[in-house]
Amino acid sequence: MSTGLSLVDAGLTMEDPGVLGELEVRFIQPYQATKAYTCPGCNREIPPGLGHMVVVPVEAPDLRRHWHRGCWMGRRT
């Protein structure tokens, strides 16, 4: 898996991930979380060291987003 994470991860929001088609959802273990991200569900930071979800559009992996697990599970669809 690439570790070339970019500023795109932290800066953009995604109102409705469903518009991007099929999504691959993975759980990032705390030890894998080495950067801070902004959760598009609540617009708050996901600090390094916190386990969370990463949501990757299959056809647009550059648009992946990092979510708090609770925000992802509780999002509106």
Using the rule CB under 5 A, is 66 a contact of Zn ion?
Answer: no
Using the rule CB under 5 A, is 68 a contact of Zn ion?
Answer: yes
Nearest 5°: the CA angle 55, 42, 4 is 40
Using the rule CB under 5 A, is 56 a contact of Zn ion?
Answer: no
**Size of interface with Zn ion, in residues (CB under 5 A):** 5
Q: Rounded distance, CA 27 to CA 7, Å?
A: 20
Give the DSSP H/E element, type plus range, for residue 56.
strand 52-57
Judged by CB under 5 A, the chain residues 24 through 43 that form the site for Zn ion are 39, 41-42
- Applying CB under 5 A, the residues found at the interface with Zn ion are 39, 41-42, 68, 71
